[in-house]
Structure 1
């Protein structure tokens, strides 16, 4: 029963965060969720009966959210359309992880925070952090820190990248590739690409291309999380805490299965095996699952906010911000440089 109190609290606090995210998509529901959670944590004096439910939401519901993300991934479309951008995607992901690893050593940032920021910067922001956090056993303070850093550079990118693209004389294809590889969260990719389309009267040309490239990056969640799971399991082997589950995190397996189901379903639609009337019902179900995934992430961020030590978050902010900036800058420079080399501009 105690668990229910915490779950209901997170659910109720997630509702205004969801609404605010709709009104201010550049900020997004997850960031509002963390902020609301932190504020309520300060005001909530006696929280013992809420703790077990809050912990359940911050761990398990976060994993459920990642699983449901798979219902938004049509692997066939992503691979066929996004494959041309793979050299730049692989390069930007690699440089972000390398920078995160080196700077974690140089300026002494905790490994888990550095991992979350590196993965969040290079793959897909909050979704990548949500997928990675359970695999590396990240604490709620560390997740909140990483989400905050990612959010800051998301907003900056969405605001300045269209103007930067103009200065660099990007083509439509070039800017779609730049936005899709150098902006880390879907909402900010959408904002930057939509702004470019509005400026150049290109309808949704750049938005559509940038979104596909972004979805291609999302697939990197699978190998990255599996690699981290294997790495952590080998470390735990030395301390007699080896766990087979950590080698193959079940929620990532379910995420892959959800993606495969989505891909097979879309293939059946394209080949006419499933009728259009029946497909409407299935599309509605898939749409609901995708929206539920986003809401679950917001619920989890509320729980993480409730578990966050605000003083620790503030006083430890400089180094993670420095790391986030360096990852963001490195990704942007690599994306621009490779486009120049490959003559995509």
Structure 2
């Protein structure tokens, strides 16, 4: 019994230690962010000195359960009233941007020969909120764990590249207009951490607007999960040979418990004036859970397999990232730059 507990805990402890190290390193490299640092350290250690089967159970728990709790707790950090702060043009911009990203990611993924699972995870991860969106979508579409790990890694790496370049692009194109710079950063970058880090390179006003645009995307998470669940069901319905398997595997589950929890907390926070400490604590715990989970994903990622598909994955990431940047710039000019 003790040996079993030690085996199960070892992977979780390893993920936690990497998360702590990542938080410390992020103090000295704030532009990179603890989340990206965690997954990079995890990849390096998981494919070298921590490449032991005994860690698998604990890292799987951290990857799945902690990321689920992280998604749920995000609901306590936002309200529906926040949408009004970016105005009608901002709302239309986000809805158009998300639609273009999803359609473009699905189309490009199909052209590159990726399966449905990778395409949906890539579309959702880039359109909504990176790792959290991928974690929410994965069980609904019955995504393979390897696919989930690869896409989370790709989305985080490409997000890091955009995080370091968008602030300079925004300052060059929009000068002192914080709303437009906030729309560029908050409407494009994948994770909340990347949005805050990128906007912080500009000024505090840009941080505020970028965060609002980003929150609007996060609030669409439930809608995206429901739509992707329906798409997956239609995809399965066309595979007649698998009908017998489909009927017994619970694939009809559209809304995971943690997505429902996210929505419930968001509604409560919108209707009830909760103490600020509630949102602060939820944000801190959610961030820690996400970083620990990303460390676990790095530890579990098969680097050889990732590199084997590297050229196509990099092309996929660059294609979707370019589409996002170009489309948001066009939308900013059409809807906000007046």
- Name the TM-score, length of structure 2 as normaliser: 0.85
Match of 1:263 among 266, 270, 274: 270
CA distance in 2, matches of 1:65, 1:294: 7
1:31 and 2:24 aligned: no
CA distance in 2, matches of 1:63, 1:211: 22
Shift of 1:224: 0.6
Shift of 1:302: 1.9
- Equivalent in the alignment of 1:146: 151
CA distance in 2, matches of 1:260, 1:288: 18
1:177 and 2:183 aligned: yes
Contact kept, 8 Å, 1:193 with 1:207, in 2: the verdict is: yes
Runs of at least 5 residues in structure 1 that lack an aligned partner in the other structure: 198-203, 270-278
State the number of aligned residues.
323
The alpha-carbon distance between structure 1 residues 24 and 133, as it changes in their structure 2 partners (threshold 3 A), is farther
Runs of at least 5 residues in structure 2 that lack an aligned partner in the other structure: 238-242
Q: How does 1:74-113 map to 2 (within 5 A)?
A: 74-76=79-81, 78-84=82-88, 85-113=90-118
CA distance in 1, matches of 2:251, 2:131: 26
Contact kept, 8 Å, 2:142 with 2:251, in 1: the verdict is: no
- Equivalent in the alignment of 2:240: none
The alpha-carbon distance between structure 1 residues 343 and 21, as it changes in their structure 2 partners (threshold 3 A), is closer
Q: How does 1:88-237 map to 2 (within 5 A)?
A: 88-169=93-174, 171-197=177-203, 204-233=204-233
Match of 2:272, SS state, is: helix
Where has structure 1 moved over 6 Å in runs of 4 or more?
Answer: none
Q: How does 1:296-311 map to 2 (within 5 A)?
A: 296-311=289-304
The two structures, once aligned, show a CA RMSD in angstroms of 2.4
Question: Structure 1, residues 235-275: CA drift from partner, whole Å, max 9, x if none?
Answer: 55733235276222111101111212222333xx6xxxxxx
Shift of 1:343: 5.4
Question: Structure 1, residues 289-310: CA drift from partner, whole Å, max 9, x if none?
Answer: 2111111111211222222111
Match of 1:330 among 320, 323, 331: 323
1:10 and 2:15 aligned: yes
Contact kept, 8 Å, 1:18 with 1:295, in 2: the verdict is: no
Contact kept, 8 Å, 2:45 with 2:51, in 1: the verdict is: no
- Equivalent in the alignment of 2:258: 251
CA distance in 2, matches of 1:153, 1:39: 18
CA distance in 2, matches of 1:309, 1:246: 29
